[in-house]
A and B are shown apart, each in its own frame.
Chain A
């Protein structure tokens, strides 16, 4: 690599802090799950711990204020936080409160933030992928110099909808980033047990779509590459498929207990990932080395993140449940 552009280190310190924040937020939910009903939480609960660098690095490379946008699947808290959504409103949604971003009607899987271009988290595997095609189409239709990112998991690539969408996206050259969060598993099923061709990136070669593989645990690689790609997409609208290699720390959802997890992965594997693949540790070491982070700063950020997650929980706890009259509102525009 001859002329690597110099890194904007203040930006990476900010990204680091965002990742720490998402981690603390998710871990707090994980901890409070024991007390779920008291907070109003329930149903499914999919945590993002381990995968933070993808949302932070990619969304951090978009200009949401200028019209860039994104859409995700149900593992969606991190997307909103990375986009700068109000953590209290995200937590309140997770707890089904009136002050939640979706008025308590969506819950953990259906976070959204229209003002920040977050078109929502969806619960049907692969269901959000075709919608990204339309979001990208609208950008192109209006000649906007914008991109749309679509987050989905490895499981989505086994849905027919995925393949229809990628073909059309390439055919119409829509500016959509198909962001695969390849964490190795779809619920309890590994890639090996569900994809005939386990080189997932090569599965899109048949659409002649531009594609790239990125280490999703390395915020520097995620962001530098995505920033470059996004710029090129804005100059010349086209779709890009990005395979982010990553790992999820928690069970698939709250119902995926240590017992059920033992049917598909070992505790050792998880421990090794936390030790060797952690995106926060990785960024921290590098930023310390570069001299822009200090141990005090780290401790400070950590404490702030924890306090802020607690404050979000408190905001939610202090918020009312939706008024019964809300039941029949918002069915139609």
Chain B
């Protein structure tokens, strides 16, 4: 076991897959000579050369087109978006093209590509650089959407994404990138641990019970899973035993694991970083209502970000997305406290 930061897990997955499969290449802005905007591809250009580590102009449409076409032609591209917000510039390539090609041509082609990059709130990056837009991708058949919360999942899910034969959107939690292993392990012992085995992967569509509990189920993904773990720690001090379920992938979505947990706890809180309206937490809550209504002792609670563009001022930013305290309050509400 190695104790890694989330960013190191990305590097490790990318590097191992590039070594294992020479069809894999990376394209994006500042991925090569600049050593990566956030350093995850540091040294890659030197190690793999310019055909496999492609520095591009600021042309997201071009980057994704390069990916889609070369994937159709048998390569396995990893397209880096400097930030996932910038994928919006090339949304057409993802939604109208990458997601459609398999079905629209009756299964004749496949598009084995990864679109990855940091996502979600950072620190004072303001309205155009703080969004967590997973719902825009998770709504679309033909795509897969991965949102890892832990270094091990980051590595294992990214490797699975790179081996998958479909377009996979890997949304990396910017807030977690450089969190120190000590800090993670203080939230939950072993949280920063990543298996050394080069064949270690994490399958899609298998949620993970990160912490067992009996009173209430906290369901999250990405940064919000970590917030749930922090909330569970606070609840424990107050004698409330919370189970934390990390969804890991939104598409495919594993509802069996959270529902099994709810059958035990009879209460659920679903947490999502960004806007709640029509969001992933709404979908999950609806499925719980459909499949576990009679197991519930209280209405499902959602905790979501404020329905506003991200403000710049630090004090406003801090209250715009869910804190562990918001989750604690929602959990207590399910318990009538």
B311 at the interface (CB under 8 A from A): yes
Q: Residue B19 at the A interface, CB < 8 A? A: no
A37 closest partner in B (C-beta): B314
Q: Beta-carbon contacts of B50-68 to A below 8 Å, as 1s and 0s?
A: 0000011111111000000
How does the 8 Å CB contact mask read for B147-167 relative to A, with 1 for contact and 0 for none?
A: 000000000000000000000
Closest A residue to B123 using CB positions: A42
Given contacts A160-B61, A188-B30, A189-B57, contact A331 B308 (CB under 8 A): yes
Q: Given A158-B59, A331-B309, A40 and B29 touching (CB < 8 A)?
A: no
A33 sits at the interface (CB 8 A) = no
Of B29, B123, B307, B316, which contacts A104 at CB under 8 A? B316
Chain B positions 297 through 309: 1 when the CB is less than 8 Å from some CB of chain A, otherwise 0 = 0000000001111
B200 close to chain A: CB less than 8 A:
no
Is A97 in the interface zone, CB < 8 Å from B? yes
Q: What are the interface flags for B65-92 relative to A under an 8 Å C-beta threshold, 1 for contact and 0 otherwise? A: 0000000000000000000011011000
- Choose, from A23-31, A220-228, A301-309, A322-330, the stretch at the interface: A322-330
Residues A295-333 near B (CB distance < 8 A): 321-322, 324, 326-328, 331
Query: Within residues 76 to 128 of chain A, which ones have a CB less than 8 A from any CB in chain B?
Result: 96-98, 102, 104-110, 122-127
Chain A, residue nearest B61 (CB): A160
Q: Quick check: B58 and A126 within 8 Å, CB to CB? A: yes
Whether A189 and B55, one on each chain, are in contact in the complex, defined by CB atoms closer than 8 angstroms, is yes
Check A43/B122 contact, CB under 8 A, given A110-B127, A263-B33. yes
B130 to chain A, nearest CB (A): 9
How far in angstroms is the closest Cβ of chain A from B29? Answer: 7
Q: Judge whether B187 is part of the interface by a CB distance below 8 angstroms.
A: no
Q: Is the pair A193, B312 in contact by a Cβ cutoff of 8 Å? A: no
The answer to whether B287 has its CB under 8 Å from any CB of chain A is no
Query: Do A125 and B58 touch (CB < 8 A)?
Result: yes
Which of A98, A108, A159, A264 is most buried by chain B, counting CB atoms within 10 A of its CB? A159
Complex contact B315–A322 (CB within 8 A) = yes
The SS class assigned to the A binding surface is loop
Find out whether the CB atom of A194 lies under 8 angstroms from the CB atom of B126.
no
Q: How far is the CB of B278 from chain A (nearest CB, A)?
A: 16
The yes or no answer to B313 lying at the interface (CB within 8 A) is: yes
Size of the A side of the interface (Cβ < 8 Å), in residues, is 46
- Pairwise interchain contact B312-A327, C-beta atoms closer than 8 A: no
The one of B58, B129, B307 in contact with A123, judged by C-beta atoms closer than 8 angstroms, is B129
How many angstroms from the CA of A42 to the CA of B125 in the assembled complex?
8
A271 at the interface (CB under 8 A from B): no
Given contacts A189-B29, A327-B306, contact A105 B311 (CB under 8 A): yes
Give the complex CA separation of A124 and B86 in angstroms.
7
Chain B: which residue is nearest A156 at the CB level?
B58
The answer, yes or no, to whether B192 is at the interface (CB within 8 Å) is no
Chain B residues 267-293 with CB under 8 Å of chain A are none
The reply to whether the CB of A155 lies closer than 8 angstroms to some CB of chain B is yes
In the complex, are the beta carbons of B124 and A187 less than 8 A apart?
A: no
In this assembly, does A44 line the interface, its C-beta being within 8 Å of a C-beta of chain B? yes
Contact of A13 with B by CB under 8 A: no
Judge whether B57 and A195 touch: CB under 8 Å.
yes
Chain A: which residue is nearest B306 at the CB level? Answer: A327
Scan residues 242-264 of chain B and give those whose CB is less than 8 A from a CB of chain A.
none
Closest to A193 in B: B55
Interface assignment of A161: CB less than 8 Å from any CB of chain B = yes
**Are the C-beta atoms of A263 and B35 separated by less than 8 Å?**
yes
Residue contact A189 to B309, C-beta cutoff 8 Å: no
Contact between chains at B125 and A124 (CB < 8 Å): no
* A264 x B33 contact (CB < 8 A): yes
Please indicate the chain B residues that have their CB under 8 angstroms from the CB of A202 in the complex. none
**Interface residue ranges, A against B (CB under 8 Å):** 37, 40-44, 96-98, 102, 104-110, 122-127, 155-156, 158-161, 186-189, 193-195, 260, 263-264, 321-322, 324, 326-328, 331
* 25 chain-A/chain-B pairs, Cβ below 8 angstroms: A40-B313, A43-B125, A43-B126, A96-B314, A104-B316, A106-B127, A106-B312, A107-B126, A109-B126, A110-B126, A123-B129, A124-B86, A124-B128, A127-B89, A158-B57, A186-B57, A187-B37, A188-B34, A189-B57, A193-B55, A194-B55, A321-B314, A322-B316, A327-B320, A328-B306
The chain B residues found within 8 Å of chain A, CB to CB, are: 29-30, 33-35, 37, 55-62, 85-86, 88-89, 122-129, 306-309, 311-316, 319-320
